[in-house]
C-alpha cells in the first residue's frame, strides 16, 4: 500500500506500482469504441501509461496534453496510453476537443482490476475507487522500465524522466 496525498491530506492506494525490471501485469480496459483493449494489443511497442484520476481535472488534462505533444516525436514504436476511470465517451470527447491524436485513452469502466494490479486504486478519501496519478513505462516485451507514483495527486508527473525511459 502506497501513501500519497490529496491537497496535503493522506490517502492510500491498493498497493505498490510494479517493480522496475518486473513483467507488467496484463490488463483489459475499454477503448473509445467500447471494445476490450489488452496489453497484448500493443506487443512489440514501448508503452507509456499515464494513469490519471480523471481527464476532467486540470492536472490530468495537462499531463495528457504534454504526453500527446511528446508522442508526436516518439515514432510508431511507442504508444502513449491514458488510463482513467472516465467513461470512454468522456475520454473521446476530451481528446477530440483538444485535438489529442497521439494518445490512446482507456477506461476502467468495466472493472477495476487494472488499478488493483498496478497498485494505483485509491482506497480512502474523497477519490476512493479511482486511480492515483502514476506513470509506468514498459519496453517492447512489457518489462517495466520506469515508474513514478506521484506523491501529491494535484502535482504533475516527471515528464523528462518518463520520456527518457523510452529512449
Marked catalytic residue, from 60, 103, 115, 136? 60
Q: Cell 483538444 sits at which residue?
A: 98
d(CA 41, CA 21): 21
Q: Cell 480523471 sits at which residue?
A: 54
Edge-to-edge strand ranges of the sheet holding 78-84: 36-38, 28-30, 103-107, 78-84, 46-51, 134-138, 144-149
Alpha-helix residue ranges (DSSP H) falling in 101-140? 113-117
Q: Known catalytic residue: 60?
A: yes
CB–CB of 121/2 below 8 Å?
no
- Catalytic residue numbers read 60
Amino acid at each position: 500500500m502506497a501513501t500519497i496525498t490529496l491537497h496535503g491530506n493522506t490517502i492510500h492506494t491498493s498497493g505498490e506500482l510494479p517493480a522496475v525490471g518486473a513483467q507488467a501485469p496484463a490488463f483489459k480496459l475499454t477503448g473509445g469504441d467500447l471494445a476490450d483493449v489488452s496489453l497484448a494489443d500493443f506487443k512489440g511497442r514501448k508503452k507509456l501509461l499515464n494513469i490519471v484520476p480523471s481527464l476532467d481535472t486540470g492536472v490530468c488534462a495537462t499531463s495528457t496534453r504534454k504526453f500527446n505533444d511528446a508522442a508526436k516525436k516518439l515514432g510508431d514504436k511507442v504508444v502513449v496510453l491514458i488510463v482513467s476511470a472516465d467513461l470512454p465517451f468522456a475520454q473521446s470527447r476530451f481528446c477530440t476537443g483538444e485535438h489529442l491524436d497521439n494518445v490512446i485513452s482507456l477506461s476502467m469502466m468495466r472493472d477495476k482490476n487494472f488499478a488493483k494490479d498496478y497498485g494505483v486504486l485509491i482506497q480512502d478519501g474523497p477519490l476512493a475507487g479511482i486511480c492515483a496519478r502514476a506513470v509506468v513505462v514498459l519496453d517492447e516485451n512489457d518489462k517495466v522500465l520506469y515508474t513514478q507514483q506521484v506523491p501529491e495527486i494535484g502535482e504533475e508527473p516527471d515528464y523528462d524522466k518518463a520520456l527518457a525511459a523510452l529512449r
